[in-house]
Structure 1
Amino acid sequence: MAGVTRQRPRRRSRRRRSAARRVTVASVYKEGYQQGYKQGVTAGRESFDTLFDGTSIIIPTYNKRDYLKLCIESIARHTDLPYEIIVIDNASTDGTAEYLQSISGQIRYRVLEQNHGFAGAVNQGLMMAKGSTILLLNNDTLVTPRWLDNMLQCLNSDSRIGMVGPVTNYISGEQRIDVPYESVDDMLPFAEAFNQCDPAKWQRTDRITGFCLLFRRELLERTGYFDEGYVVGNYEDDDYNIRVRLQGFELALARDTFIHHYGSISMKALGDQFMAVNNENERYFMAKWGNPHALVYEAREAALRMGDASAGWPPNGETGFYPSFVFVKGLGDTVYWISEGQRHPVAGTVQVPVIHLSQLELKRWPVGAQVAAVEAESTWRLVPAEPLTGTSALASAPDGTLYYVESGIRRRVASLHAAQAWGLLDKPQAVFPPETLMSLPEGLPVIAPIRVVQRL
């Protein structure tokens, strides 16, 4: 028609169409990411307890990125058997976190928000480990040809062997050997010739240092985590040695296996604080154990009297050295009453000491029937006139030795620290005639629970 101007439909500009596509792509990406994340979390939970037939190598580290890098590279170069590397960074400030992120496809790692010391970092790694065997390794080490093969052969040669360590150039005790090299560049030819598997060179010992320590997963499940009562570092490996030996396991040195150790790099960095840390940990060790070697002997004698002194005894691991008729709890709010080899959920509020344990320790007791708080607490407070089944009491021998009398069994309390740690000093103390107390059959000693902060 005349005078009428037709207008074409307006087209969206190219810029608007592009923006719309970006919005669509972004929303699809976000939705896909969320679905993938949920699936990943589900898969992770379902596979949490899945293990692999290999070795979890746990490396605690703090502010020594370059040493850590050399250590990890040496593992990749000289380890042919299946393994995983788990690095726990104790809040380093030297770029360690960025380095770990750059190799995240090759290792598993966790960066802690604060320094939890050697024991705290090791425990974090133990909670993450998936291997059938576990190896603790200092960050200032260089592993060498056949190092893991030789140590595993030593460990697997005898079920009585609980832990194995190598020899090195820098350490205290029996593990130190003289070496012919002066430079690390000359170390590998020496190690190559040295590391020839030879069972004749395997040696039983009473102490293995924690700079390189190999053991089975079953030992972890029996013995538990490292004691975080030791600040920063030192003595926590001695503590673990004692706990393993109490169960009848032996310690072995694979003297056919050498790894290089730069030597206490993190501890040296403490400078003037080193002696204060070392002295504090020594005090804690002595307060906890007193004479630990005598305790190991007494535990084995008690095991013989009970008819089994084999490695891996008692059947419930370290928990066999814990007292009965006490209240405990793990990560949750549930309080348990330990009695008759079971943990009984407690209904009601408990007014007496409740001891915090790790989940690894707690699960060694099967769950029993629920008990009322007032009933269990009444048993806890009872002062028996004579040792009876179903009762417990703290009693002193004429020489001052503390005993925990439990269902007619006399158990020596390892130390005053152990009595305090279990809240036994809060119990009314029984007064048994000395001849009655000392005539009771003697059971396993009572040792202190470890201090541990679970972070997973």
Structure 2
Amino acid sequence: MRRRTRRSVTARSRINWAGRKRRQERRAIPKRSRAALPSIYRAGEGKLADAAYQAGLLAGGKADAEEGEGEGDVLLYESPLQRAFSDWCAAHVKKRPDIRTMIRLSKSYTGGYAKASGRKDTRIPLPLARTAAAVVCASNEQDTLGKVLQQLERLPFQEVIVVLNGCRDQSYTAARNHRIASILHVPGRLGHDVGRSMGAAMTSADIVLFTDGDVVISAEELAPFIYKVDEGIDAALNDLNPYLPPYMHQDEVTRCKSFLNRNLQPVIMCRTKGKWREADRLVGFCLLLHRDVLHRIGYLDEGYRIGNYEDDDWIIRLRLTGRKLFIAGDSFIHHFGSVSMKQLGQQFESVHHHNESYYTNKWDNPYAWVTNMKEGALARFPGLRSGHDFYPSHVLVRDQSGLVYFLLNGRKYALSGGAGQVGTEAVLLSRLDIRQIPDGEYSLTSEQIREMLDSAAMDESLSAGEAGAGQLVEGPGGRVYQWSRGTLRPFASLHTLERWHMALRKRSVWPLERLNSVPEGDLIIAPPHLDNPVL
């Protein structure tokens, strides 16, 4: 790789500024040349890039002598190049630079490494504190899937899960040609939400990147996502708004999303050094998040068919917990909108109508709930929430294996003797969600649970402004709440009551004055619908 040095830049400047004094020529850089220069040559960073190149030469020569020709068969994550560059950064880069500077350092180091080893190398090692994995969903993407995986191989991913979602072409063969790929084949086309959930369940990495197999994204454009989330950002998505066609030329799905993005004014004017902006709502096919966030929020809701609205749903759930979203403004990824959805043909209208209805029935007014949480419960009781904090109390839940628990005030209690005598149906949750719920100190019998449920169904309150534990309360407008430790927790919708099998439970009707005398607690939302028996 040819290095751009101070000497070559100055020489070019002398040609462009001919006729001026020699001293001025050495100092001055014409505006066009200055704009073309990478920022790494500012504030002495050019010396660090030179040092990275020289260090790469030494490391490459040493690795070539020790490893021979085996370097090319090793994934970047476990390669000598990744280890050597991470060690060099720890020793010589005192302050974590922005991603563009880091990429230039990485390429300088790799350039020296490649020259010493005598092999071409375009990989981009990054000094990450956490492990990273990618989940690629593909549906008949044989022409582009291999190119997508080629770019992912250039980054330090621990693994790449390829979910072949109802493929009928040669996508499997394209994926098998790449050593980094672990392949999960789903015979039927289940949609983006199921594929991503299954892929996330297969990896143990701290950071998970979700992308599609129909769009080839360069490693240089993906690196900012990994780098920023490694710093501590909860979730990062791509921003396509500046690159969309005029409103009148957009397809229906893109038009609806553009309308919401513009009218809800999602972007908060808070620009970071790396052009990252906090946002209230983002929709994109490429997003990156911490595994810890996935554990705390849960999987995508599989009640949505194939695609659309499932990402909106997951983002609402994330924002309710008090976490933040960011636009990766320094990364541009072009997405040919609705390519997969257009393959549905005449089925598109029915799928879109189902998803729209499911979303509306589930959330009622989702952005109002986010605002209420931010200004209400999160303000009164600060702290990040988890997905299970939005589950009700006094309900039975079960996992796919049939294990049943009783949820009581944010904890799960194992049942001794089975749930057959309780008289209420258990709600199916993923194993991931159930593991996140803290365990109770003891187990409960079906008689004890039945007694608590009967007590929660009492009409009479204990005293003014108070109710029995777990009691349902209905206000004048029909909104239903659950009494929980001195607060009234609202149900997001009638759908939420039905999903928790609580729609037929007895309710105590309160006047508005009494409702207003009690602080509002955390929202109660519907659990994600599960079709996948693996989760």
Aligning the two structures, in what range does the TM-score lie when normalised by the shorter sequence?
0.7 to 0.9
Alignment check: 8 A CA contact 2:191 2:307 kept: yes
Query: Does the alignment pair 1:82 with 2:157?
Result: yes
Query: Does the alignment pair 1:73 with 2:145?
Result: no
Q: 1:292 aligns with which of 366, 379, 385?
A: 366
Q: CA offsets per residue over residues 106-127 of structure 1, 9 Å max, x none?
A: 3111111322211111111010
| Alpha-carbon separation, structure 2, partners of 1:390 and 1:362 | 26
Alignment check: 8 A CA contact 1:394 1:403 kept: yes
Residue 446 of structure 1: aligned partner: 524
Residue 455 of structure 1: aligned partner: 534
- Equivalent residue runs for 1:361-380 within 5 Å: 361-368=433-440, 369-380=442-453
Query: Does the alignment pair 1:337 with 2:406?
Result: yes
Runs of 5+ in structure 1 lacking a partner? 1-51, 169-173, 179-196
| Alpha-carbon separation, structure 1, partners of 2:130 and 2:277 | 26
Residue 188 of structure 2: aligned partner: 114
Q: CA offsets per residue over residues 78-110 of structure 1, 9 Å max, x none?
A: x3333421111122111223333343x331111
Residue 418 of structure 1: aligned partner: 496
Aligned-residue offset at 1:426: 2.2
| Alpha-carbon separation, structure 1, partners of 2:335 and 2:169 | 21
| Alpha-carbon separation, structure 2, partners of 1:80 and 1:67 | 18
| Alpha-carbon separation, structure 2, partners of 1:380 and 1:277 | 39
Q: Secondary structure at the match of 1:142?
A: coil
Query: Does the alignment pair 1:57 with 2:134?
Result: yes
Q: 1:428 aligns with which of 489, 493, 506?
A: 506
Please, which moves more after superposition, 298-307 or 130-139? 298-307
TM-score with structure 1 length normalisation? 0.76
Q: 4+ residue runs of structure 1 moved beyond 6 angstroms?
A: none
Q: 2:454 aligns with which of 381, 394, 416?
A: 381
Q: 1:391 aligns with which of 449, 455, 469?
A: 469
Residues 390 and 333 of structure 1, relative CA distance in 2, 3 Å threshold:
farther
Alignment check: 8 A CA contact 2:467 2:483 kept: no
**Identity rate of aligned residues, in percent?**
31
Alignment check: 8 A CA contact 1:380 1:427 kept: no
- Equivalent residue runs for 1:16-415 within 5 Å: 53-76=130-153, 79-103=154-178, 105-157=179-231, 159=232, 161-168=233-240, 174=241, 176=243, 199-308=273-382, 310=383, 313-314=384-385, 317-347=386-416, 348=418, 349=420, 350-368=422-440, 369-382=442-455, 383-384=457-458, 385-386=460-461, 391-415=469-493
Alignment check: 8 A CA contact 2:148 2:215 kept: yes
Q: Secondary structure at the match of 1:440?
A: coil
| Structural RMSD (CA) | 2.5
Residues 305 and 200 of structure 1, relative CA distance in 2, 3 Å threshold:
closer
| Alpha-carbon separation, structure 2, partners of 1:243 and 1:276 | 25
Q: CA offsets per residue over residues 403-435 of structure 1, 9 Å max, x none?
A: 122344201111111111111112112234443
Aligned-residue offset at 1:143: 1.3
Aligned-residue offset at 1:287: 0.7
Alignment check: 8 A CA contact 1:166 1:255 kept: yes
Aligned length: 374
Q: Secondary structure at the match of 1:109?
A: strand
Alignment check: 8 A CA contact 1:140 1:264 kept: no
Partner AA of 1:91 in structure 2: G
Q: CA offsets per residue over residues 28-81 of structure 1, 9 Å max, x none?
A: xxxxxxxxxxxxxxxxxxxxxxxx9332110111122212222222333xx333
Decide which structure has greater strand share. Answer: 1
Please, which moves more after superposition, 387-396 or 235-244? 387-396
Q: CA offsets per residue over residues 254-298 of structure 1, 9 Å max, x none?
A: 111012323332111111211221121011111111111110111
Taking CA–CA contacts closer than 8 Å with sequence separation of 6 or more, which of the two structures ends up with the larger relative contact order? Answer: 1
Aligned-residue offset at 1:177: 5.5
| Alpha-carbon separation, structure 2, partners of 1:428 and 1:176 | 53
Alignment check: 8 A CA contact 1:88 1:121 kept: yes
Residues 175 and 248 of structure 1, relative CA distance in 2, 3 Å threshold:
farther
Q: Secondary structure at the match of 2:143?
A: helix
Residues 343 and 116 of structure 1, relative CA distance in 2, 3 Å threshold:
same
